Every structure is written in C-alpha cells, then in structure tokens.
Amino acid sequence: MCDKLISVIVPVYNVEQYLEKCVNSIRNQTYKNLEIILVDDGTKDDGGILCDVLAKIDDRIKVIHKKNGGLSDARNAGLDVAEGEYIAFVDGDDFIHPQMYDTMIHMIEEEESDMAVCGFASVGEDAEIDMEEEIFTKSEVFLNGRIMQNLYFSNEFDKFVVVAWNKLYKAEMFEHVRYPKGMLHEDEFTTYRITYPCKKISFTPTRFYYYVTRSSSIMGVVNEKRLHLLLSYIDRMRYFAGHKAYALSEAFAKKYMRMTNQFQAWGEETGQDFSIRLIEYRKVFIQVFAWCLKKKQIRFAFETKAELFVYLYMENFYYKIWKWQHK
C-alpha cells in the first residue's frame, strides 16, 4: 500500500465563493496522506481569511500569505515549501473527484511512471455533479520516445497535455522547473519541460478533475496578454530543436504562424490593435526560426519553409488565405 506524501498546491486569488468547495474536495480524498498548501496571492476578497479558517479545521492545511504576483508566482511559492514526494495543483475555483489522487498515485507506482494524467470536465459555476457515475477507465502508458508525439499530435490526447492541474507529478520533476512570473498561459511555458524528459506517463481519460468555467475568468477575455501564447510557441520551438525533437519544433513553428492570424482576427472583432506586439514577437520568431534552421541535423519540410516565406513576405495574403479557410 502506497503512503507517500502528496503536496497539493492551491493558488487563491478572488475565489472566496468557490474555495471551501475546492478545499473540501481535496480534504475528502480517499488518499489521506496529503499536504494541502493554500497560497493567498494577495487576494482582494476574504479568501485569505477563509484559508486560515480552513487550516484550523484540518492540520494537513498550510497557508502562505503573500503579495499578489499572479498564478505562476503563487504556484512557485507553493513549490518552494512543498515537502511531498509527489506534487499536484488545483485551481482555487475548481474541485476534484474523491478518488483522484488515490487512483493516480497507484497508476504511477504500479506502472513505474514518472507522472499520471487524467481527464477533466468543464462545468458551470452552479453545476451539480454526480461523481459516483464516473467510472475509472483503465490507464494507458506512454513510453519514452513516443510520449510527446502521442500527446501533442493525437486529437484524443492533446487537450490533456498543457494544463498543470489534471496531473500528479514526482516532486523531483520540479527541481529545475518553475512557472514564468507575469505570463499568461503559464502552463504552456512549463508543462512540456516536465513531460518531455519523462520515460513513462500514465494516462486515464476518467474525468477526475472539474474545471469551473466562469464568465469573469481572465481566460475568457481576449487582450494583449493573451498573445503570451505566441511566446510559448517560440519557447517550444527553441527547446525542442535544442533537444533534437525536430518534428515538434516544426509543429510549433506552424502553430505560431497560424495563431498570429487568429489574434489578428480577434483584434478586428474586438476593435483592439495588436499590431505592435505582433511585430515585436515576429522579430523574435524569425530569430529563433533561423537558429533552428542552422542546426545541422534539422530538416524542416518544404511546405513549412514555403509557409514561412508567405508569412514573411506576403503577410496580408497569408492572413486572407487563413480567413478563407476558417469561414
């Protein structure tokens, strides 16, 4: 029987009305050896006070009060004090199935994996979930050399890859990894640095995590900070080229070019001008793409090079083609 400590890190910022449900879903796990780290990230509501109240109810709860630094900074603060052999994240407005960590830690231990990934359900703020209906689906193991290809290029699995919170990690995987402070899409900059070195990843589509969609959530708003996603694609281009994973590097070059069209379209729809930031990021993209092409072993496909040519020298035409394809 596994009894290793799991540190569950919960960033708390303006989620007072959801926090108790979130924390109780962690407290009520069938796996009991937990360290629950609530990180009050300078919340403007009474969530910080509620953290202290909850800590008095359950001695497994630790509370960190800090100045607001954003989601990345809150997660990093939790990582810095975590004592568990395993790490998990739950956002303060979400909740989890009572058997989530019991199932996932046994997946890792029995299959000798580096981490476990589960399915999730997007639910409304007032959704009532019958968790007893969720039946565990047998896990699948992804082996080294096929992990990223399967997870990033399979329509069945790619949506589970990026986010931090539907996973259970060995703590050692964060020894040299932290989330980028001040960046939106922080998971996009980080999760691949953990998944890529893994020799084995255990996956189950069972929906153990419940992601609460809120109208006030920053992820529902299109603004200039959302363009950080483009920087995350550039970051992965560089990383994968440096690790000789050239197919992945090429894939994110394509993702970058095509996503610039999406942001341009969103800008037109919302009356926002993203042009200055797009030009700035374009320069960075060109520098990294050129660096990738200088790698001796890399051979991007002719189609990718042709697309880059059109993107660089026929930008308006490139955008018009994309709009026509996405009517």
For every residue of 179-247, DSSP letters joined together read PPTT-SSHHHHHHHHHHTT-SEEEEEEEEEEEEE--TT-GGGS-SGGGGHHHHHHHHHHHHHHHTT-HH
Residues 204 and 278 reside in one and the same domain? no
Q: How far apart are CA 83 and CA 73, in angstroms?
A: 18
Residues 47 and 191 reside in one and the same domain? yes
What is the per-residue pLDDT for 293?
Answer: 78
Residues 258 and 117 reside in one and the same domain? no
Residues 134 and 269 reside in one and the same domain? no
Residues 201 and 230 reside in one and the same domain? no
Return per-residue pLDDT of the chain as tens, 327 residues. 689 999 999 999 999 999 999 999 999 999 999 999 999 999 999 999 999 999 999 999 999 999 999 999 999 999 999 999 999 999 999 999 999 999 999 999 999 999 999 999 988 877 677 776 677 777 888 876 666 666 566 555 556 678 999 999 999 999 999 999 988 889 999 988 998 888 999 999 899 999 998 765 555 577 889 999 999 999 999 999 888 888 888 889 999 999 999 999 999 999 999 999 999 999 999 999 888 877 766 678 888 889 999 999 999 999 999 999 887
Range 191-215 burial, b when 16+ CB lie within 10 A, else e: bbbbbbebebbbbbbbbbbbbbeee
Residues listed for the chain: 327
What is the per-residue pLDDT for 294?
Answer: 78
What is the per-residue pLDDT for 144?
Answer: 67
Residue 170 lies in a domain: yes
As a whole number of Å, the end-to-end CA separation of the chain is: 55
What is the per-residue pLDDT for 177?
Answer: 94
Residues 188 and 42 reside in one and the same domain? yes
Q: Can you give the CATH number for the domain in which 109 is found?
A: 3.90.550.10
Domain boundary among 187, 203, 218: 218
Residues 24 and 111 reside in one and the same domain? yes
Residue 1 lies in a domain: no
Residues 260 and 201 reside in one and the same domain? no
What is the per-residue pLDDT for 162?
Answer: 84
Residue 253 CB neighbours (<10 A): 27
The domain tally of the chain equals 2
What is the per-residue pLDDT for 140?
Answer: 83
Domain boundary among 218, 246, 270: 218
Residue 103 lies in a domain: yes
Cβ distance 178 to 79 under 8 Å? yes
Domain boundary among 168, 202, 218: 218
Range of the domain at 235: 222-325
